[in-house]
Structure 1
């Protein structure tokens, strides 16, 4: 029996590029949410690793597929054995304003939508994934903030966390959105900071990595996070690569994240 009042998945007969699409009614969203799912070509495989892949501001569930071609790249990377077969779940952030921040708001809980509802919706609809599938979370920019923070807060669920060009504090949302920062304010200030969340759960964290482009406007914030994690003796991998805050960078460097998860 489904945990949702309504859940629908696209008809495989009309599937393109090994992408499936789910729409589910979520109590945390107070409405419906969308999830795109990449499933490898070989449908006989079972218990595939599942990666939650979060988009940034202005985006939605289709962003990784139709800005970065992640589904086509996955076919190529799996065929060339650069990554093992795995499923990718790419949810909308809840479509609040320019970006929800993947945090709880007054009436909607965008954090629980990702950490609970998205996972359950995939388990209910994708036969190649089950409750024993290894679970990972990653994202870019606002999605990096969501992945790093949610991955730490729900450390019992995830085996790995990764952020690309990540916002590291909710105050940095002001660089991208027109909504007032008051909407993103949390009851516990720890929940507004990647660093403080990681420190809070430092003894239980999954394996952790993040990276940033050398021409990215969030570079200094990511360097500061790296330095603070070192000072607090929190194991992690941090990389810098040439590139800006754009899809060219994310489409290329998501490969390091996927390899990190499965190595």
Structure 2
């Protein structure tokens, strides 16, 4: 068993007078036998003294298809939110088209294991975290929006809250897109496998109030239909959740705005303790 190691590279964010401290680390995944880059942002006050005993809630943020670990570090609203909300933000690399599950077809894609087990363990060991689901949330955009809800539903002992922004919360209507068939096989030959790894179908296993759930989508986004369908499904199942639609498309102007609302949602959850 290889020991998890990290290499820290500082990212300068000098345009903020008081800003979160942002590093890039590499965490070794035993499941995939490789180092995976992640961005970690901590509040400006983090580690102000050696005697500091304060522990911080953690928000894991997932990128979209064709994105990478560094995408969220470019969101000024995230960086400001880390300071304002006094949280730690962790942004792992999710590979190209992983959808954040453990692929039964490709052993090099085990991002469910990495994010929800290996990375959680590493962050809780190396940072001053509230190492409990009450202090841990997960969110993402697009592919990462699906990943956030998927991982939270599958690992309710790990995460207490989850949020999706423009999430591909049901990708079964898109059988030829975004490398999903590479991870699960062709849809027409593996329908059960697709449904077992899709948020829309997984929510039927949820119990009300088991998770704090928030999701949203722009009205001009190509995922608006599946988000509306998920909202209706949760209403039918009587699962409490927050859902919002606002003007916007599938792009960074929308997500940079949306992260502000989701961080407030998480802050309210963390404050309940």
CA contact (8 A) 1:64 1:70 kept: no
CA contact (8 A) 1:214 1:243 kept: yes
Write the distance in 1 (CA, Å) between the matches of 2:176 and 2:260: 27
What is the CA-CA distance between 1:193 and the residue it aligns to? 1.8
Write the distance in 2 (CA, Å) between the matches of 1:229 and 1:36: 33
CA contact (8 A) 1:164 1:211 kept: yes
* Structure 1 gap ranges (5+): 79-83
Write the distance in 2 (CA, Å) between the matches of 1:249 and 1:123: 31
Corresponding residue of 2:161: 160
Corresponding residue of 2:97: 99
Write the distance in 1 (CA, Å) between the matches of 2:159 and 2:217: 22
Matched, 1:35 2:38: yes
CA contact (8 A) 2:208 2:238 kept: no
* Runs of 4+ with >6 A deviation: none
CA deviations on 1:92-118 (whole Å, 9 max, x unpaired) are 00x2xx411111113131111111112
Matched, 1:202 2:193: no
**TM-score, normalised via structure 2 length:** 0.82
Write the distance in 1 (CA, Å) between the matches of 2:67 and 2:119: 17
Corresponding residue of 2:223: 218
CA 1:130–1:231 in 2, change beyond 3 Å: closer, same or farther? closer
CA deviations on 1:167-212 (whole Å, 9 max, x unpaired) are 01243565752x3615235774443221221211335631111000
Matched position secondary structure for 1:205: coil
Alpha-carbon RMSD: 2.3
CA contact (8 A) 1:9 1:125 kept: no
More deviation, 135-144/20-29 = 20-29
Corresponding residue of 1:244: 249
Corresponding residue of 1:181: 181
CA 1:230–1:204 in 2, change beyond 3 Å: closer, same or farther? closer
Corresponding residue of 2:55: 47
CA deviations on 1:43-80 (whole Å, 9 max, x unpaired) are 246211100000001111101112x23553336x61xx
Matched, 1:58 2:61: no
* Structure 2 gap ranges (5+): 14-20, 269-273
Matched position secondary structure for 1:120: helix
Aligned pair count reads 247
Matched position secondary structure for 2:45: coil
